[in-house]
Structure 1
Amino acid sequence: MIKRNYRWGILGAGRIAEKFCTALSETAGSEVYAVASRDAGKANAYAAKFNASVVFTDYNALVKDANVDIIYIATPHAFHYNQTMLCLQHNKPVLCEKPMSLSPKQTAEMIAAATKSNLFLMEGVWTRCMPFIEKTLSLIKEGVIGEPQYLQADFGFFAAFDPASRLFDKALGGGSVMDIGIYPIFLAALIFGEPSVIKSVSKLAETGVDTYASILLQYPAGESAHLLSTIDFNTPIEATIIGTKGRIQIHNPWFKATAITVHLNDGTQQDFDMPHQSNGFEHEIKEVMYCLDNGLLQSHKVPHQLTLLISKIMDEVLQQAGVNY
């Protein structure tokens, strides 16, 4: 149970922020206190929809507001580094939407700044906070599927080419790996840790961002993962973890799943249903408030070490594709 009410400042007023604020308004102990957007119309529309007390068209004004307890950064990837640093400089805890930044170097600097200032910082990997992930980890720990050997996860959808879109604009950190490839990369990092081999095949748009990445990871003990991200076509958006005794199937859309199935080698299977109370963001929100309640500087679900590892793997995949931001 959350000990107090948290006043959230929302930095950015795009689609992801709207989904986050929907869950925030339905989660006990939280309120959309302030919204900041350079677009006054968007900021005022958000304030009206979510009953925000304050509206800003200047990000600096938001971070200086003494009533803001925690800031959620929901702007395009390319702005995360500078905006997180701005928040930390003004003594504000931060939940930064994934990916944390455009490079491992930036990510490490953000974490170092938060640590030095004794401030909470978490990457918004909302999937990690969902019940299906907790159940999956529990099943693996209990040895239900034996020793995990192989993981497959994909995330792909078709996006018509538009050089001005954030998906294709390199200046905004566009590309499939940054936008959705982080999901399967996160799952592999969570289950298997740091890979010893990373091999990737990619395709680039004329704007220089990747539209497709087929990634093969191998681990020191011989386990492997095959991951796919693309904005060229639709994929099943499913994930499977195979062990020596069976497999765990995470159903579509796996990154916000409400159902998993365990298939054992003896032919038996078991289904688990875990519906969200809101749209799935409530789990992440509750995790952040739990950490703040208990004076934690990082979440044990999305620790800084995991964020750094994800950033390193993404960077290597992009380097192999010839993408430099």
Structure 2
Amino acid sequence: MIRWGILGCGRIARKFASDLKFVEDAALVACGARNAASADAFAKEFNIKHKHYSYEALVKDDEVDVIYIATPHSHHHEHALLCINNSKAVLCEKAFAINYKQVKEMIDAARSKKVFLMEAVWTKFLPPFNKVKQMIDDGMLGDIKSLLVNFGFKAPPDAPQRLLDPSLGGGTVLDIGIYNVFTALFFLGKPDIITAEAILTAGNTDEQCAVTFKYNDGRLAQLFSTFLSDCTTEADICGTKGRIRLTSRYYTPFATVEYYPGRLDTKQIIDTGRPEEGFGYQYEARHVGECLTKGLIESPVMTFADSLSLIETLDSIRRKAGITYPADEQL
């Protein structure tokens, strides 16, 4: 039985906690928050045995094997190091950290302490996404020539402060654009040329951002993210033999995979299996449990190299678009 603790008791933590009940060898035994009322409410909601009123107390809990970090990404570096230095395995929400320097320090610490660490890019473990990868590997698209991904919504007036706060790593690129970037890297690899334009706030975070990846072999990817309007959250992957479309909320287990072989008006719905109950976080949680059972410190699916490539690309996009954070001043 893998004993889980959750660091940070907000919205995403509640989704993850809810999905742990679908993981056969997982037990949620502890939670930690800096606010006692938050920890109390979270522990009561999920019937958690140990509640801690500080993150320091959580990481010293001897009954916890692995900790899921669900705080804003501006704090991931600090909290991951806290866990690692106390020999707690870590599944840390994306973005892994604010910049490459922070991610590299987290990975170096995990290697030095021989402690498991993985970025929680949950999409990589989901059936629709992996079905598309299989279709591409099987040659159903021929040679991929282009990729188009959009992710956007109109932020409500009462949107969380973190969405645009530079001190919390706000803006679309690290919050939702990371899905677009990850998708392009997964299917096309690292680009040779990156261009990016953004609409910036007074604090140099982005309200929307348009990114182009160009490859020397002629491939292109266009990625768009926004908090200013509702747009299709879909991915189109186009090749010499056809097109694959991951429909609305393409990054979730509930996306539909559409295949257009040749002519665009000929659509096939690809069977990816019936989605499990829950939000879909159990897939990555299961994988973490398998890694811990095998004594691994690095996932063979979401590797350290994957996380370094992702954050390096995000850093490049931010530089091109003029998006800056206080943490960048430490570089």
Give the alignment's TM-score, normalised by structure 1. 0.95
Task: State the alpha-carbon separation in 2 of the partners of residues 120 and 224 from structure 1.
Answer: 35
Within the alignment, does 1:189 sit opposite 2:188 as a pair?
Answer: no
Native 8 Å contact 1:176 1:211 kept in 2: yes
Percent identical residues: 38
Within the alignment, does 1:265 sit opposite 2:265 as a pair?
Answer: no
CA deviations 1:19-70 (Å, max 9, x no partner) are 1101012321112110101111111111111111100011011111111010
Task: State the alpha-carbon separation in 2 of the partners of residues 321 and 13 from structure 1.
Answer: 32
Between 177-186 and 116-125, report the one with greater CA deviation. Answer: 116-125
Native 8 Å contact 1:87 1:93 kept in 2: yes
Within the alignment, does 1:228 sit opposite 2:224 as a pair?
Answer: yes
In structure 2, what is the equivalent of residue 55 of structure 1? 51
Amino acid at match of 2:275: H
In structure 1, what is the equivalent of residue 97 of structure 2? 101
In structure 1, what is the equivalent of residue 40 of structure 2? 44
In structure 1, what is the equivalent of residue 299 of structure 2? 299
| Residue 210 of structure 1, CA deviation | 0.6
* Root-mean-square deviation (Å): 1.5
| Residue 268 of structure 1, CA deviation | 4.5
Task: State the alpha-carbon separation in 2 of the partners of residues 301 and 269 from structure 1.
Answer: 31
In structure 1, what is the equivalent of residue 83 of structure 2? 87
In structure 2, what is the equivalent of residue 125 of structure 1? 121
Match of 1:122, SS?
strand
| Residue 208 of structure 1, CA deviation | 2.3
In structure 2, what is the equivalent of residue 73 of structure 1? 69
CA deviations 1:205-262 (Å, max 9, x no partner) are 2232111110000123221110011111111100011111001110111010432011
Native 8 Å contact 1:163 1:169 kept in 2: no
| Residue 269 of structure 1, CA deviation | 3.6
In structure 1, what is the equivalent of residue 140 of structure 2? 144
Native 8 Å contact 1:189 1:306 kept in 2: no
Amino acid at match of 1:115: R
Match of 1:13, SS?
coil
Equivalent runs, 1:14-53 vs 2, <5 Å:
14-53=10-49
Match of 2:24, SS?
coil
Amino acid at match of 2:259: V
Within the alignment, does 1:6 sit opposite 2:2 as a pair?
Answer: yes
Match of 2:148, SS?
strand
Distance 1:144 1:7, change over 3 A: same
Task: State the alpha-carbon separation in 2 of the partners of residues 183 and 280 from structure 1.
Answer: 15
Amino acid at match of 1:294: K
Structure 2 spans left out of the alignment, 5+ residues: 326-331
Task: State the alpha-carbon separation in 2 of the partners of residues 50 and 220 from structure 1.
Answer: 51
Task: State the alpha-carbon separation in 2 of the partners of residues 154 and 286 from structure 1.
Answer: 29
Distance 1:324 1:250, change over 3 A: same
In structure 2, what is the equivalent of residue 251 of structure 1? 247
Structure 1 spans left out of the alignment, 5+ residues: none
Give the alignment's TM-score, normalised by structure 2. 0.94
Match of 2:186, SS?
helix
Between 160-169 and 206-215, report the one with greater CA deviation. Answer: 160-169
| Residue 164 of structure 1, CA deviation | 7.1
Native 8 Å contact 2:3 2:66 kept in 1: yes
Distance 1:136 1:8, change over 3 A: same
In structure 2, what is the equivalent of residue 284 of structure 1? 284
| Residue 9 of structure 1, CA deviation | 0.7
In structure 2, what is the equivalent of residue 172 of structure 1? 168
Task: State the alpha-carbon separation in 2 of the partners of residues 49 and 164 from structure 1.
Answer: 22
Misfit runs of 4+, over 4 Å: 161-164
How many residue pairs are counted as aligned between the two chains? 321
Equivalent runs, 1:310-325 vs 2, <5 Å:
310-325=310-325
Native 8 Å contact 2:236 2:244 kept in 1: yes
Task: State the alpha-carbon separation in 1 of the partners of residues 5 and 324 from structure 2.
Answer: 31
Task: State the alpha-carbon separation in 2 of the partners of residues 300 and 270 from structure 1.
Answer: 32
Between 22-31 and 231-240, report the one with greater CA deviation. Answer: 22-31
Task: State the alpha-carbon separation in 2 of the partners of residues 117 and 282 from structure 1.
Answer: 27
Task: State the alpha-carbon separation in 1 of the partners of residues 181 and 318 from structure 2.
Answer: 12
Native 8 Å contact 1:12 1:74 kept in 2: yes
Distance 1:203 1:123, change over 3 A: same
Match of 2:13, SS?
helix
